[in-house]
């Protein structure tokens, strides 16, 4: 079932940008140098130390699984049939990321320690959620 014309290419590009570049590469930079990641805006400057524990754990998890995003993205762009079952991984992880991010940032706001603007919170949530939903719809 096709969602829209060239859906595999569009979704492959989304996975490459959101997953491979933002999640994998961004988090790899964060693990290599957390201070540099803060300096260039990959990590929040105003994070409380107790939140940094979670951020480090998420960065580590993203680096461990994020290389798959590049393979899935290229496979979808070239319409390789073997990649469709593998695409479930980024689809599910993007939805998880979006919901987790929304809840964590909401809890930080409720606690009086917001670290990002609402625009960034909404944009990052939607970018991950939409990419995840489209990926899952593609592989159904």
Q: Is the pLDDT of residue 1 over 80?
A: no
Digit-coded pLDDT (tens) for 34-85: 999 999 989 988 888 888 888 899 999 999 999 999 999 999 999 999 999 9
Considering the domain boundaries, does residue 15 fall inside one?
yes
For 6: left if phi > 0, alpha if psi spans -120 to 50, otherwise beta; the answer is left
Give the tokens for residue 108.
């930080």
Which residues constitute the domain of residue 89?
7-139
Q: Is the pLDDT of residue 31 over 80?
A: yes
- Counting other chains too, the contacts that 107-110 makes at CB distance below 8 Å and 24 or more residues apart are 108/51
Considering the domain boundaries, does residue 105 fall inside one?
yes
Considering the domain boundaries, does residue 2 fall inside one?
no
Q: Give how many domains the chain has, as a whole number.
A: 1
| Other Cβ atoms within 10 Å of 110 Cβ, number | 9
Q: Provide the 8-state DSSP code for 140.
A: -
pLDDT band (50, 70, 90) for residue 130: very high
Sequence-ordered list of residues with C-beta below 8 angstroms from that of 26, at least 6 positions apart, any chain: 37, 42, 62
Considering the domain boundaries, does residue 124 fall inside one?
yes
Considering the domain boundaries, does residue 62 fall inside one?
yes
């Amino acid at each position: 079932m096709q969602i829209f014309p060239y859906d595999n290419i569009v979704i492959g590009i989304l996975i490459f940008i959101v997953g491979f570049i933002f999640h994998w590469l961004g988090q790899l930079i964060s693990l290599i140098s957390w201070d540099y990641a803060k300096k260039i805006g990959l990590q929040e400057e105003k994070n409380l130390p107790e939140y940094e524990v979670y951020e480090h754990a998420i960065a580590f998890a993203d680096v461990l699984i994020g290389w798959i995003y590049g393979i899935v993205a290229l496979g979808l762009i070239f319409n390789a049939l073997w990649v469709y079952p593998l695409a479930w991984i980024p689809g599910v992880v993007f939805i998880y990321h979006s919901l987790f991010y929304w809840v964590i940032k909401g809890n930080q706001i409720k606690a009086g320690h917001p670290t990002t603007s609402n625009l960034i919170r909404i944009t990052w949530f939607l970018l991950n959620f939409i990419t995840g939903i489209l990926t899952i719809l593609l592989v159904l």
